[in-house]
Structures are given as structure tokens and as C-alpha cells.
Amino acid sequence: MKLIDGKAVSEELKNALKQDVLDYRKKSGRVPHLAAILVGDNPASKAYVGNKVRACEQVGYKSTLVKLDDNITQARLLEEIRKLNEDPDVDGFIVQLPLPKHINETEVTLAIDHKKDVDGFHPVNFGRMAQGMPAFLPATPYGILLLLERYNIETAGKHVVVVGRSNIVGTPISILLSRKSKSGDATVTLAHSRTKNLADVVRLGDIVVAAIGIPGFITEDMIKIGAVVIDVGINRVEDESAPKGSRLVGDVDFEPVRGKSSYITPVPGGVGPMTVMGLLLNTFKSANKEIYS
């Protein structure tokens, strides 16, 4: 079994990007700029946004954090999005999800200018991605592709089973891995809450991507010997022995599955840091007008 070290790969990629950013700054006289809107004070969202701001500092980007109150109206939030859409200094921005219940998330996603949608959630980017056109790839699937590439994990002709069909992880990674491309050309099964005989389906996977949101859901009996296991889940579970009384675990029952797999991502330190990397790379592409002129 080989551990896929997302933390180490993201550090390597950040160091390379840092140099590219220096060159960009010299050449253009400006600084790549990523902004984030954070609504309310959900601790997990605060931590994710904090990581993104720190990552910007590490690679030499400018970052702006727009903090908004939990009870902000839809109209006010859309107004903040409009300001960022129109600010020529901002290359890209994200609205950290989840949003409070009274906010219409779809309307928010649609309000973001797709040319600044560095999270890759806007239907224009999603559609372009699905058709193999240049697009901002959703940050987590982008990060997974980078990990597979970095570890030379062959996907062509392999059977990939993705569990979970969210718009931000499961569905886009299933599309990307099945496309005719590098880190693609796989035969993909997209499994979800209505899949029958899920264990039998997952057992067919040469590569298994778990994006469910249930701690330890993928157990050892579901994994074929030698499979590659990509655990996207981030779940906080109680643990009295941990300093905070809780710890983060993935959707995979790590220790037993580890023994059966050829490669596996840990949680934390697997896909999570690569999601931030995907976001940084999309922002750099935006600054360079690589996707849209």
C-alpha cells in the first residue's frame, strides 16, 4: 500500500506556483487576486476559508475576505457578488458553501460571473468541462486529477466507481475520469443513495472515489485487493482522546481498507489540500486569461 500524500504534493505545487507568480508579477506589474465571501460563522467554513487565505499568502496572491452576517438577505449577498464581478482587480472569487437555509444557493451560483468562477460551480464551466472545452474545473475534482497524475496512476481502461453524485464532487469527477483525456478514458460507474447492492458495485472498482459524507462508510469488504482508494469525505467525529474532543475522518474505514488497497488518500492530508491547490491554479489561469480572454 502506498499513501497518496496530498499535503506533500500540494506543497510541491505551491512552490512551483510561487515562482510562476513572481514571473507573472514582474511581467504584468500586477498581483493575482482571489476573493472569498464567507456568510455566517460555521466553524468548518471558517476553517476552509482560512486555509484558502493562507494558501494565497504562501504563493504570493492578494486575497480579500468578505465576511457577511448569517442573516444577510439574498439581495445583499447578490449585491456583494455583483461588486466582485465588476471589480477589475479581482481575478476570481468563491462563495463558501454551505449557505444559510434562507439563501437560494442556485441563484448565488448563477450570479457569479463564470469568467471569475474559480470554484468551477457555474453551469457554463460545468457544461464546458463536460464537453472537454477549456473551463475552470471544480476545485476538488481538479485536485484529484492532479494527485492521480502525480502518482502516475493509470486511469485508461480502468473501472472507476464513484460513490456520491454531488454537483461539486461526485458528478464532475465521474465525467472527468470518463472523458477522452489524460487522467481520463476510464469506465465509470456513478453510485449513490439509490444504488442497489452497493458493496458489489464498489467491489468492481479498480479505482474507488468516495464522496458521501458518512464517516467510515466504505468498508474493507467493499474493496477489491489492489484498488486505488480516493477518500474525499471530511467528517468530524467525537473522540475523547483527541485534544479537541473530536477529529476528522474520511468516508473510508481507513486502517482496514489501507491494508487491501494499492494506493490510498488519508484524511486529513489527502484530497483536502489539493482542493485548495485546484482553486489557486484556477485563479492563476484566470489572471493569465487562459480559459477566457
Residues that bind ligand NAD (CB under 6 A): 140, 163-166, 168-170, 192-193, 195, 198, 211-214, 232-235, 271-272, 275
From CA 148, how far away is CA 221, in angstroms rounded? Answer: 24
Q: Minimum distance from CB of 48 to ligand NAD (Å)?
A: 8
Q: Minimum distance from CB of 167 to ligand NAD (Å)?
A: 8
Please give the single-letter amino acid code of residue 81: I
58 among known catalytic residues:
no
Query: Residues with Cβ < 8 Å from 31, sequence gap 6 or more?
Result: 21, 25, 60, 61, 62
Q: Give the active site residue among 14, 96, 116, 285.
A: 96
89 among known catalytic residues:
no
Q: Minimum distance from CB of 281 to ligand NAD (Å)?
A: 14
Our CB check for ligand NAD shows the closer of 34 and 169 to be 169
Contact 172, 129 (CB under 8 A): yes
Which H/E stretch holds residue 37? strand 33-39
From CA 230, how far away is CA 251, in angstroms rounded? Answer: 10
Our CB check for ligand NAD shows the closer of 173 and 186 to be 173
Contact 267, 4 (CB under 8 A): no
Q: Give the active site residue among 119, 206, 231, 253.
A: 119
Q: Minimum distance from CB of 233 to ligand NAD (Å)?
A: 4
Q: Minimum distance from CB of 215 to ligand NAD (Å)?
A: 8
Our CB check for ligand NAD shows the closer of 68 and 198 to be 198
The C-alpha cell of 177 is what? 475520469
Our CB check for ligand NAD shows the closer of 170 and 184 to be 170
Task: Please tell me whether the peptide bond between 268 and the residue prior to it is cis, using omega within 30 degrees of 0.
Answer: yes
Q: Minimum distance from CB of 227 to ligand NAD (Å)?
A: 17
Q: Give the active site residue among 5, 14, 52, 206.
A: 52
Query: Residues with Cβ < 8 Å from 176, sequence gap 6 or more?
Result: 129, 137, 141, 145, 183, 184
Of 129, 135, 173, residue with least CA distance to 265: 173
CB atoms within 10 A of CB 283: 29
Our CB check for ligand NAD shows the closer of 72 and 212 to be 212
From CA 129, how far away is CA 127, in angstroms rounded? Answer: 5
Q: What is the DSSP string of 190-259?
A: EE-TT-TTHHHHHTT-SEEEE----TT-B-GGGS-TT-EEEE---EEEE-TTSTTSEEEE-SB-HHHHHH
Our CB check for ligand NAD shows the closer of 24 and 162 to be 162
119 among known catalytic residues:
yes
The residues annotated with a catalytic role in the active site are 52, 96, 119
